[in-house]
Amino acid sequence: MLLGHWLTHPSRGILPVVRTDIRRGSGVGENLEAKQAEWGKRMIEIRVRLWTDNIAEGKGQIVPKHAWDAGVVLMGGNSTHGIVAGNPIPFNGFAELPAKMEKALIAHGVKVHLSKRQRRYIVAE
């Protein structure tokens, strides 16, 4: 815990700041190899692209800000994480997006750690 720092709250006055290390007891950081990463290369990116064809009547035309609820999920390459951009994964509706995003993460060997909020109701075996 970090004590000795204070925060001014508009309605509650001065409060002590208590910070706990996220790694303590969470499984994050245990036996993991860490390395230095530049700003802009720390995040892992998943992109969603939506189809826009056949909405406008003319060939090669679009209707601005209109798209189908289908498209592809793409995993962006990131040399810091050792991720090479892969093939696009098609989806046919927004309900399929979580499964297709999970498929992209698995295909690239990405391990996702649960947030503190999710650890309240999801049991990791």
Residues 60-119 have pLDDT tens digits of 899 999 999 999 999 989 888 889 998 999 999 999 999 999 999 999 999 988 888 888
Where is 99: in which H helix or E strand? helix 97-107
State the Rg of the chain over Cα: 21
What are the start-end ranges of the E strands in the chain?
6-9, 13-16, 46-50, 71-75, 89-91
User: What is the reported pLDDT for 22?
Assistant: 41
Q: Is the pTM of this model over 0.75?
A: no
Reported as a single tens digit per residue, the pLDDT across 2-22 is: 334 455 555 555 554 443 344
Where do the domains of the chain lie? 42-125
Question: Residues 64, 59, 86, 50: is their CA dihedral positive or negative?
Answer: positive
pLDDT, tens only, 21-61: 444 444 555 677 887 878 878 889 999 999 999 999 989 89
**3 state DSSP class of 124:** coil
